[in-house]
């Protein structure tokens, strides 16, 4: 006797949208239909929502704070501190198992210097910048999962911590003018 096939449980709308795994890392804009520049065929894009870009557009952070965050994120990526790890080169035929490049080592020194200016890895500012800017988690995700000292923090308080941390980071990179006391 032939076995019955299981009916597909996924709906057409779910199949066309982002996966559940991708949605846990932040929201998406509404789908945009465009023509593919190479083939001319119609395509549908869903753009990931940039937390820092939204905060800049809303006026929550200044352009200097945004630039400091972009600078930190760039150095964070160069330093290869994110959780995505490449395959070891010593497993590739002809590859060498050399460690870090000088560029990565320099980027790690810059990231460590910025984290020290923020109060260290265990501080609220350091944790917020590491997770939201470096690892690109949403503010809400950082607040609920990581928070400060392992305890959840409310979303408005978490956003306030991030704004304060970005202000310190911008001052560390020299992107804001420091006011002198009279």
pLDDT at res. 152: 82
Angstrom distance (rounded) from CA 168 to CA 174? 10
What residues are paired with 33 via a beta bridge?
Answer: 44
In the block, which residue shows the tokens 């304060």?
164
pLDDT at res. 133: 93
Per-residue pLDDT tens over the stretch 13-65: 455 666 665 565 556 656 667 777 777 778 776 656 688 888 998 999 999 99
pLDDT at res. 39: 79
pLDDT at res. 71: 95
CA nearest 134: which of 112, 106, 149, 156? 112
Kindly tell me the sign of the dihedral angle through the C-alpha atoms of 133, 135, 139, 143. negative
pLDDT at res. 12: 47
pLDDT at res. 149: 72
pLDDT at res. 182: 45
Residues of the chain with pLDDT under 70: 1-32, 45-49, 83-99, 177-182
Give this prediction's pTM.
Answer: 0.67
Angstrom distance (rounded) from CA 172 to CA 174? 5
């Amino acid at each position: 006797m032939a076995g019955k096939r299981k009916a597909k449980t996924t709906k057409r709308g779910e199949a066309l949208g982002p996966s559940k795994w991708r949605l846990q890392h932040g929201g998406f804009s509404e789908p945009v239909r465009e023509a593919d520049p190479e083939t001319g065929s119609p395509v549908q894009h869903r753009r990931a929502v940039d937390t820092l870009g939204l905060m800049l557009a809303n006026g929550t952070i200044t352009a200097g704070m945004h630039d400091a965050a972009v600078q930190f994120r760039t150095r964070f990526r160069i330093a290869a501190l994110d959780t995505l790890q490449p395959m070891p080169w010593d497993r590739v035929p002809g590859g060498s198992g050399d460690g870090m490049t000088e560029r990565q080592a320099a980027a790690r020194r810059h990231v460590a210097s910025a984290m020290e200016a923020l109060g260290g890895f265990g501080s609220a500012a350091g944790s917020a910048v590491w997770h939201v800017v470096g690892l690109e988690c949403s503010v809400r995700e950082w607040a609920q999962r990581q928070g400060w000292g392992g305890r959840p923090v409310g979303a408005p308080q978490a956003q306030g911590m991030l704004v304060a941390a970005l202000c310190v980071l911008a001052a560390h990179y020299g992107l804001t003018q420091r006011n002198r006391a009279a």
